[in-house]
């Protein structure tokens, strides 16, 4: 095994939060940082040039983790057996330099102020007996106000495109009236409106709702970021989610944080290298990372600080695998909290409509050329007479439909069979005349949904896979039923010729893509009795280990996680840069 020169910081994964740490911590300090990245190096040019290959990227998941080598197992509950899945389904964790943010859809949200106080807010408004006994959702250890300046800094690093809804407490027409107050508008105007988006806007306004353009980490115009990266605007090519952006308009570590980080010459990403484990010293602190390179040779990278900055599932797994005399159940797990409060995202399309003869141009745009509303999200509406807590953001379909996977299910609910001559001619005539309304709902935490190590299955390197135990509960089924009716009302106001409604939520399936938002498992909290980390992602029982990303979320609100992943990483990076090394191995306050 080769042992390298020690550095101050080593990270598992070379993705979003690793590059944020590198770009924020290294300039202005003398620290050195190494990231161990399982996938290959890749850059906008030349790797994403002419990459409109649907089969390769969208259907065969070229930029995703190879689940033939390492995957996860799943079971709906503890009484059922767990099995590994060898084809990507419910979620698509990425790999490669820049991580999953390279091929994200780029919806960029700030969580709502209410999201950070889920438990106390619902107890106060509806009484503690409205909270199901099994539900373990809890308040975050920080507030929206604590994060506001980090959300702002993130949006200005990325050149986020959007429309302000709450400027310093003053509501601005056309934005999201439910958003938390922001100190300034988005750096770029919203992305271009679409035909279907305009239909949705008019219909929902007529119902008294508050539609607004999607906030996106995609440039709506040519722009230069604070690091001097001059970038082009989106060309609305429609090859967005699951693709690298060929013009660099979709913001990612490649466009934004890697250039200034690598410029310091004190940051190195070792690609095609797979972390095997976090090594622990006798004193219970981490000593560095053990990893294997593409030739199968083992290495050890010693470091003062170890950061779990891989995808949420692998971060939780790395903690559980880091078993030692000091931490027999894994780093962070001295009190049994690693793996708890595993949550997901209730992402479904309850309604679709068909407008005969109308061209919606659903193949033009990106995943953010659509319209959102938060009227039925979180506690933005009164739950007094209802049988659930929480809610979802609701959106109309965007503009990245492609022919292969859309043919499969586009006409489900609109034709009586998905084969045959009638179906074929319907598809040919109406492929661009069908579109949906979808919800992205919050996912509360429950005692019976959790992650641990699988007792049976191992990966290519002989290490136990992470086992996910997860299914929906009555709260989510009731929430879905209510939201499906609201979506049906919106769709009816859009006056389709034909409409299909899926009224009930099916049981969770691992083979059916919903969203790449598994969250929790290494949650942040106020003390070691209710969490794995403090508000900086610093592991309570091993203060020189930090966790980043969505594993920190106590439960998942009704919006995409990346904005908050970034804001939390900005805050943690600032604390590590300014305070950690002056009092090394102590818990930050």
Partner 1 sequence: MIGPRRRTRPATVLNAILMFATTALVASCALGSDTDVVVVRITGSGFDPATLTVDPGTEVRWSNETNQVRTIDTTGVTFNQGRSLPAGPEAFISEPLRQGETYARVLTSEGVYVYTVGPIPDEQFIAMIEVTES
260 touches partner 1 by CB under 8 A: no
List binders of partner 1 among 509-538 (CB under 8 A). none
List binders of partner 1 among 464-493 (CB under 8 A). none
507 touches partner 1 by CB under 8 A: no
In the complex with partner 1, which residue's Cβ is closer, 164 or 240?
A: 164
List binders of partner 1 among 129-188 (CB under 8 A). 156, 163-164, 167-170, 172-174, 181, 183-188
Catalytic residue among 92, 103, 210, 517: 517
265 touches partner 1 by CB under 8 A: no
CB of 429 to partner 1, least distance (A): 32
6 touches partner 1 by CB under 8 A: no
List binders of partner 1 among 191-220 (CB under 8 A). 193
The sign of the CA dihedral 294, 299, 305, 311 is positive
In the complex with partner 1, which residue's Cβ is closer, 190 or 441?
A: 190
Interface residue with partner 1, options 15, 190, 211, 390 (CB under 8 A): 190
CA distances (Å), origin 247, targets 44, 155, 234: 7, 19, 7
DSSP-assigned beta bridge partners for residue 547: 308
In the complex with partner 1, which residue's Cβ is closer, 89 or 181?
A: 181
In the complex with partner 1, which residue's Cβ is closer, 94 or 159?
A: 159
CB of 66 to partner 1, least distance (A): 41
User: Is there a contact between 515 and 559 (Cβ–Cβ < 8 Å)?
Assistant: no
**Residue-by-residue DSSP string for 135-185:** B-----SS-HHHHHHHHHHHHHHHT-B---SEETTEE-TTS-TTSPPBSS-
CB of 173 to partner 1, least distance (A): 5
Of 577, 570, 578, nearest to 158 (Cα)? Answer: 570
In the complex with partner 1, which residue's Cβ is closer, 201 or 548?
A: 201
In the complex with partner 1, which residue's Cβ is closer, 159 or 537?
A: 159
In the complex with partner 1, which residue's Cβ is closer, 184 or 509?
A: 184
CB of 174 to partner 1, least distance (A): 4
DSSP-assigned beta bridge partners for residue 290: 277, 300
448 touches partner 1 by CB under 8 A: no
CA–CA separation, 561 and 481 (whole Å): 24
- Which residue shows structure tokens 């105007």? 189
Total residues contacting partner 1 by CB under 8 A comes to 20
- Which residue shows structure tokens 């009816």? 492
CA–CA separation, 566 and 561 (whole Å): 9
CB of 298 to partner 1, least distance (A): 48
189 touches partner 1 by CB under 8 A: yes
**Residue-by-residue DSSP string for 345-361:** -EEEEEEEEE-TT----
Q: Is 150 a catalytic residue?
A: no
Residue count (the chain):
589
Q: At what angle do helices 474-493 and 195-206 cross, to 10 degrees?
A: 100
Query: Cα angle at 318 between 314 and 319, to 5 degrees?
Result: 125
Distance of CA 575 to the CA centre of its chain: 23
Instruction: Give 112's contacts (C-beta < 8 A, 6+ positions apart).
Output: 144, 178, 179, 180, 374, 377, 378, 380, 557, 559
CB of 213 to partner 1, least distance (A): 9
Q: Which residues bind partner 1 (CB under 8 A)?
A: 156, 163-164, 167-170, 172-174, 181, 183-190, 193
Catalytic amino acids?
A: 517
């Amino acid at each position: 095994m080769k042992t390298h020169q020690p550095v101050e910081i080593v990270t598992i994964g070379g993705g979003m939060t690793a590059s944020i740490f590198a770009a924020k911590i290294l300039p202005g300090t003398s620290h050195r940082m190494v990231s161990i990245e399982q996938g290959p190096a890749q850059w906008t040019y030349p790797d994403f040039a002419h990459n409109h290959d649907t089969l390769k990227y969208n259907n065969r998941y070229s930029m995703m983790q190879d689940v033939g080598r390492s995957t996860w197992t799943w079971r709906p509950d503890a009484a059922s057996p767990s099995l590994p899945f060898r084809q990507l389904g419910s979620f698509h964790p990425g790999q490669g330099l820049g991580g999953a943010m390279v091929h994200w859809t780029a919806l960029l949200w700030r969580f709502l102020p209410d999201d950070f106080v889920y438990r106390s807010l619902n107890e106060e408004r509806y009484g503690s007996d409205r909270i199901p006994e099994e539900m373990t959702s809890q308040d975050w250890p920080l507030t929206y106000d604590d994060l506001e300046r980090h959300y702002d800094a993130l949006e200005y690093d990325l050149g986020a495109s959007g429309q302000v809804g709450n400027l310093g407490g003053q509501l601005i027409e056309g934005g999201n009236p439910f958003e938390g107050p922001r100190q300034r508008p988005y750096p770029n105007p919203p992305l271009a409106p679409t035909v279907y988006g305009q239909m949705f806007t008019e219909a929902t306004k007529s119902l008294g709702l508050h539609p607004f353009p999607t906030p996106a980490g995609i440039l709506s115009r040519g722009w230069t970021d604070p690091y001097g990266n001059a970038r082009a605007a989106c060309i609305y090519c429609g090859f967005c989610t699951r693709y690298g952006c060929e013009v660099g308009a979709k913001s990612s570590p490649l466009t934004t944080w890697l250039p200034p980080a690598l410029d310091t010459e004190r940051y190195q990403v070792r690609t095609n290298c797979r972390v095997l484990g976090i090594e622990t010293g006798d004193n219970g602190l981490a000593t560095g990372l053990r990893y294997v390179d593409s030739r199968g040779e083992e290495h050890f990278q010693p470091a003062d600080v170890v950061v779990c900055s891989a995808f949420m599932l692998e971060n939780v797994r790395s903690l559980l695998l880091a078993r030692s005399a000091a931490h027999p159940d894994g780093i962070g797990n001295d009190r049994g909290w690693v793996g708890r409060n595993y949550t997901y995202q209730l992402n479904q399309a309850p309604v679709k409509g068909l407008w005969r003869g109308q061209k919606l141009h659903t193949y033009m745009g990106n995943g953010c050329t659509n319209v959102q509303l938060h009227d039925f999200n979180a506690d933005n509406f009164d739950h007094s007479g209802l049988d659930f807590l929480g809610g979802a953001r609701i959106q109309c379909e965007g503009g990245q439909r492609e022919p292969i996977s859309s043919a499969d299910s586009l006409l489900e609910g609109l034709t009586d069979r998905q084969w045959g001559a009638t179906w074929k001619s319907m598809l040919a005539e109406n492929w661009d005349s069908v579109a949906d309304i979808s919800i992205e709902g919050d996912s509360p935490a429950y005692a019976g949904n959790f992650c641990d190590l699988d007792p049976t299955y191992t990966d290519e390197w002989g290490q136990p896979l992470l086992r996910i135990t997860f299914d929906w509960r009555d709260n989510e089924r009731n929430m879905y039923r209510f939201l499906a009716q609201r979506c049906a009302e919106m769709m009816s106001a859009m006056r389709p010729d034909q409409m299909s409604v899926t009224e009930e939520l099916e049981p969770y399936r691992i083979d059916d893509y919903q969203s790449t938002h598994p969250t929790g498992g290494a949650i942040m909290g106020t003390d070691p009795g209710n969490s794995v980390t403090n508000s900086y992602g610093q592991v309570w029982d091993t203060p020189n280990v930090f966790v980043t990303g969505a594993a920190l979320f106590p439960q998942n609100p009704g919006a995409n996680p990346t904005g908050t992943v970034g804001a939390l990483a900005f805050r943690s990076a600032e604390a590590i840069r300014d305070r950690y090394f002056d009092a090394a191995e102590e818990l930050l306050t």
